[in-house]
Structure 1
């Protein structure tokens, strides 16, 4: 087997990395010298749906002790460029094809793709995210708290709970704790000290639920998260006045502007959650509870003009997945929905609010036809980018997003395929909801590497560097609980069981992996102290601020701070090349490099120490010392020596170590 052939779309092998029409583009591939004489061809497709490759010889651009670097140049037109390589190893009488997944053997070609005029914000490449569920983060203003029985939601009066109470196993979606935007403002210095660069907020627009994925008013921030000036003690009118008073809405919008301004002063970006597939039944277009008047909305009069904003069947307007509380917006019928939602996208990234982008909820579900879906998102992205060229747009998506990225619909995705899923299965065998356990995937390095190579091939250009790497979020179980390898949900197993038998060594290894594999690493609030929880609603426990001074929580916080600092000090981790070096059952190693630095990560998740011999020459290291720059557990050595492209040593059980070449 021939090892060491390598190309990707980092600055090491593609220049420029954000190519525009008319640019001269240079593509490179690396070939080990030790295999003897070699020649190379670049195979190009210059039309989107063509099978007629044009092949052109590559020329030797430069070389070092270990490798030849072949390159090819061309001017970028308005057409897509799809490409792969063919290498002829003359001494071995062997030809090899190489594509976005590596050496091609017994599979179809997965071309690299260059998309003309596709550009992602530079600040978003490898940016460190912190996701906040506002109602559960910090209560900075008790005067805006929802009160017991303020209104009916899902057939029952809502409930206001004490901060340290746990969410009810089946009624958590009707419970409020009082977290708000002022609470986030109050904790910005905490987040800055932690090392956060971007805050991703779960929805904050007017909505009757704590999760706010059932939007009532896209044009304003919910006063329960903002500011309530106008209020009443009349419980029959309280919710209506609180959420429709112009004074409350205007002041709440101003508070959001203050949050963005204060975050920007600390060099922290703010990304919003856009729920545009469906609204909520409280929205004035539906007005199920007559908050906006007796005859307004399709729930009260199916013949109002807004009826064309929805899909209809024999039972009335359609709800997303059948939920009438989530009326599905109709993108197939009228441009009015397109224009309105796109203007919302534009509004919040523009002056005076100046948010830094959008995460798009259930983005693949929007509309009922893929062609409409992709065309709308391209339209939405164009409108938003025209208003704020540095705004990020990434989508919730669980499958390959390739055709959406190529369509210029999104910049990137929530990286389930390239982070949460493979890391969770490799380290714990546990599915992201704790609903399934696959012990055969624990330590299965072959599966892990093959899956990641496929996932990365689905994210062309810089998409993989801006896609959000998470191990926990509001939709799935907490990473700490997943390390228990237990199947369960809160209604069947109970809250306490989510906290029992957490494997803290595996917890730390998981986070080091999410910070060193390609993507923008992200924490879900409380992950920095190891907050536990089954999937929704248990993953939405309040942040236990009073526990920060306890030793075990402080130790976890210190670990996360140190890891983030390590990440920030090594820029190659944001956009470098990555090659897997050596792997075995429960053991994996990979190298990350750019022109200025070389990092090697080795991971042992076995219950016993592992003796390693790693070919670091695959990451362009031949000789010299490598210093330990981060480790999840104490190790005896501080540095290790590379001889003729190899490092040897022992790594303790359940340990991950990052080295840097001196």
Structure 2
């Protein structure tokens, strides 16, 4: 059991005016002194306002449920958009530094220090529960726009296959995985908004919807036209309007690292007059990167996805820089989308590599925020994405590294992406989560786009070999951990599916095929998250870990919830309640049972492979 003596609630950091400029007011809570522990002699905040160490003395400001409250102010860094700091506690013969990754007896490296960026994600994002939809497989709302051959010049050796709703998906993209169609469209999504609202969803992320020859649409050949088989631009106008009536948010997928090889700028199959392929004199030649042998640089060697060259001014103008650019166009009425998700954002840039990538991602942000300052921007990253999450580039990332991968390793004992067996204890699991979060500002931690699976991965239930209880534990974490939760369509009713493209099965609208127990479980957690502000934007700290069990508290100005996730055998727990009243009363979400804390602790019995979610009752 961990004994917490120092806690910095990052949710309580406030910006205040000072004698010499703007400052941040910082709070530190210290536990009542224990006879076996040395007494704190002095407390400081350590920062570098002029690149040189300065120690700002903290003063006691009173008590909070028995804990001492310390505060001081530090200047907003004048030389950077980020202000970095940590805490230094002096004892009789020792010292402790408290930083974003934990505690240490020595000064932490800068990547471990608390940080505040002057660039902030939109406030509304913290309140959302997103739902990811692969449009071609969610619902067919208008059969009249089903596959129209003239709109799909699928120039390849892969035949187009028309399938009935619910038929098995192709085994791989080596076959017809990208060229089989079921009829899902935007009118189908509009027609199912009532279902999503009843589930508790507040935002929708759509995989690409612009005109392209494939069903996945990551090979765009017209960025300004919604695919005709999805209903065209008018269908997006209607979906956006219907969502706004329900106060729901809409995020689209920006695929701007590459185009389709059938885009008019290059048009490889037809060798269109003026196209860049096989035409060194084309006005579009420099939009891409060509080798001496006439071949072009493509995404991961896939010749249907030629990479754009952002060193070209016209490419920059078309994608983001001009007033009529793609990114700005869809943010404006009548579409008025709320957010962009950028496909393989870390791979785009100049020439044949991701040269100057950070510059362009920051430029995307500037263009988006100039058009709609309240827009949300995230990037796709399968690996660690710290460098893009410092505030001035992305608001958040698809949080595979900092959430999905550790959850799968802990609950399923599998490495991603190899599915190799791993043995990850709860301690190691929490250390992974903490380390991933520690290097980015707290505001961006709350804006991270958390997920269990997606259109690019096997579904969690598939990886769990159908173990619904494991999925329930993962869903508990998804809806209670720091960040913005996203449910991949169908997970809430038990839809399974293997690796891409099998993870893109049709949603089963026959309710007899649904797992109604799992659906109810999702609804309960979503409703609680929307009710409890601490689950949306509160701090998180660990109360207890052992080999198989993790208990943590989400905390915001005294309001709090306690979450316990146990992958092992049933056990009795005695959880110390830090920083809150020792006689707090709680209600457990799933059982409805009332629980009373006694002597500053919660005594709980948790079943085998189960979770508990307890919220304080005023």
Please say whether Structure 1 and Structure 2 have the same fold, judged by a TM-score greater than 0.5.
yes
Tell whether the 8 Å contact from 2:452 to 2:478 is kept in structure 1 after alignment. Answer: yes
Moved more, 142-151 or 320-329: 142-151
Return 412-421 or 98-107, whichever deviates more: 98-107
Aligned-partner SS, 2:6: coil
Match of 2:245 in 1: 265
Aligned equivalents of 1:8 and 1:216: distance in 2? 48
Cα displacement string for residues 128-167 of structure 1 (whole angstroms, at most 9, x for unaligned residues): 0000000000001112111579643442221111112111
Deviation of 1:626 (Å): 2.2
Alpha-carbon distance between aligned partners in 2 of 1:296 and 1:203, rounded to the nearest angstrom: 27
- Inter-partner Cα distance in structure 2 for 1:183 and 1:45: 55
Instruction: Report whether the alignment pairs 1:324 with 2:325.
Output: no
1:138 aligned onto 2:139: yes
Match of 2:500 in 1: 536
Q: Distance in 1 between matches of 2:498 and 2:390?
A: 36
User: For the structure 1 residues 592 and 38, does the alpha-carbon distance in structure 2 shift closer, same or farther, using more than 3 Å as the test?
Assistant: farther
Q: CA deviation at 1:431?
A: 3.3
Out of 161, 164, 173, the residue aligned to residue 162 of structure 1 is: 164
Match of 1:646 in 2: 601
Counting only pairs closer than 5 Å after superposition, residues 207-606 of structure 1 correspond to structure 2 as: 207-226=212-231, 252-290=232-270, 294-315=272-293, 316-331=295-310, 333-342=311-320, 343-367=325-349, 372-406=356-390, 408-433=392-417, 435-441=418-424, 444-484=425-465, 502-546=466-510, 548-550=511-513, 553-606=515-568
* Residue 54 of structure 1, CA deviation: 1.9
What secondary structure sits across from 1:157 in the alignment? coil
Shift of 1:66: 2.6
Q: CA deviation at 1:407?
A: 6.0
Pick aligned residue for 1:620 from 574, 580, 599: 580
Match of 1:234 in 2: none
Shift of the 324–371 alpha-carbon distance from structure 1 to 2, 3 Å rule, reads closer
Aligned: 1:129 with 2:93: no
Question: In the alignment, is the contact (CA less than 8 A) between 1:8 and 1:100 conserved in 2?
Answer: no
Whether the 8 Å contact between 1:287 and 1:300 is mirrored in structure 2 is no
Contact kept in structure 2, 1:153 and 1:209, CA below 8 Å: no
In the alignment, does 2:95 pair up with 1:98?
no
| Residues 126 and 483 of structure 1: CA distance in aligned 2, closer, same or farther (over 3 Å) | farther
Which TM-score applies when normalising by structure 1? 0.86
Alignment partners' CA distance in 2, 1:89 and 1:67: 18
Alignment partner, residue 68 of structure 1 = 68
SS at match of 2:550: strand
In structure 2, the partner of 1:249 is none
Assess if the C-alpha contact under 8 Å between 2:113 and 2:439 holds in 1: no
Question: 1:504, CA displacement in angstroms?
Answer: 1.0
Equivalent in the alignment of 2:200 = 195
d(CA) in 2 for partners of 1:352 and 1:656? 44
Q: Is the 8 A contact 1:413 1:468 kept in 2?
A: yes
What corresponds to 1:15 in structure 2? Answer: 14
Whole-angstrom CA distance in 1 between matches of 2:498 and 2:593: 38
Distance 1:350 1:133 in 2: 23
Contact 2:563 2:612 in 1 (8 A): yes
Q: Deviations over 1:399-418 (max 9, x none)?
A: 33333233611111111122
In the alignment, the residues of structure 2 paired with residue 422 and residue 468 of structure 1 have an alpha-carbon distance, to the nearest angstrom, of: 15
Distance in 1 (CA, whole Å) between partners of 2:42 and 2:105 is 19
1:322-372 CA deviation, whole Å, 9 max, x = no partner? 1111101112x2222222111211111112210001001111111256661
Give the deviation of 1:75 after TM superposition.
Answer: 4.1
1: CA distance, partners of 2:22 / 2:379: 29
Q: Where does the alignment leave 5 or more consecutive residues of structure 2 unmatched?
A: none
Structure 1: unaligned runs, 5 residues or longer:
227-251, 485-501
Alpha-carbon deviation of 1:553?
Answer: 2.2
Corresponding residue number in structure 2 for 1:493: none
Aligned counterpart for 2:186 among listed residues 175, 181, 185? 181
Q: How many equivalent residue pairs? A: 595
* 1:481 counterpart SS class: helix
| Shift of residue 509, structure 1, vs aligned partner | 0.9
RMSD across aligned positions (CA): 2.2
CA gap 1:361/1:599 in 2 versus in 1, 3 angstroms = same
Q: Give the SS at the match of 2:335.
A: coil
Deviations 1:557-586 (A, max 9, x none): 222112211211211100001111111111
* TM-score using structure 2 length: 0.92
Tell me the distance in 1 between the aligned counterparts of 2:54 and 2:23: 18
> Is the contact between residue 384 and residue 402 of structure 2 (CA under 8 Å) also seen in structure 1?
no
The offset of 1:94, in angstroms, is 2.5
* Counterparts of 2:327 and 2:572, CA distance in 1: 53
CA distance in 1, matches of 2:127, 2:95: 36
Secondary structure of the structure 2 residue equivalent to 1:169: coil
Could you tell me how far apart the structure 2 residues matched to 1:138 and 1:431 are? 33
SS at match of 1:296: coil
State the shift of 1:445 in Å. Answer: 0.7
User: Shift of residue 16 of structure 1?
Assistant: 4.0
Mapped partners of 1:168, 1:402: distance in 2 = 36
CA distance in 2, matches of 1:82, 1:472: 33
Offset at 1:68?
1.5
Alpha carbons of 1:180 and 1:591: their partners in 2 closer, same or farther (altered >3 Å)?
A: same
1:656 matched residue in structure 2:
611
